[in-house]
């Protein structure tokens, strides 16, 4: 079960926000029954890239044995 303030991983790209499958975000709000989540994506500097509502099929929990990866995003 995904909870507020947990890190999640995108299961699909969201091109209109410059996000790719595998990008990591933080859950800022869980809707009832875990059907959807408000998720914030930020740069390493802490600038918000997007805060979007995602369905449960769009995200998954991070697994303890995963390695993080950095990539540059295009400026808005």
Q: Which pLDDT does position 33 carry in this prediction?
A: 86
pLDDT of 66 strictly over 90: yes
Cβ 50 vs Cβ 19: under 8 Å: yes
Architecture of domain 7-61: Roll (2.30)
Which of 14, 70, 50 lies closest to 59, judged by CA? Answer: 14
Q: What is the per-residue pLDDT across 5-33, written as a single tens digit (0 to 9) for each?
A: 999 999 999 999 999 999 999 999 999 88
Higher-confidence position of 26 and 74: 26
The model's pTM: 0.91
- DSSP class of residue 62 equals P
Average pLDDT, the chain: 94
């Amino acid at each position: 079960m995904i909870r507020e303030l947990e890190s999640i991983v995108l299961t699909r790209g969201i091109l209109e926000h410059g996000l790719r499958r595998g990008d990591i975000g933080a859950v800022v709000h869980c809707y009832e029954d875990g059907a959807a989540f408000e998720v914030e994506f930020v740069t390493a500097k802490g600038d918000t890239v997007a805060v979007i509502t995602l369905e449960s099929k769009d995200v998954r929990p991070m697994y303890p044995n995963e390695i993080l990866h950095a990539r540059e995003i295009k400026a808005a």
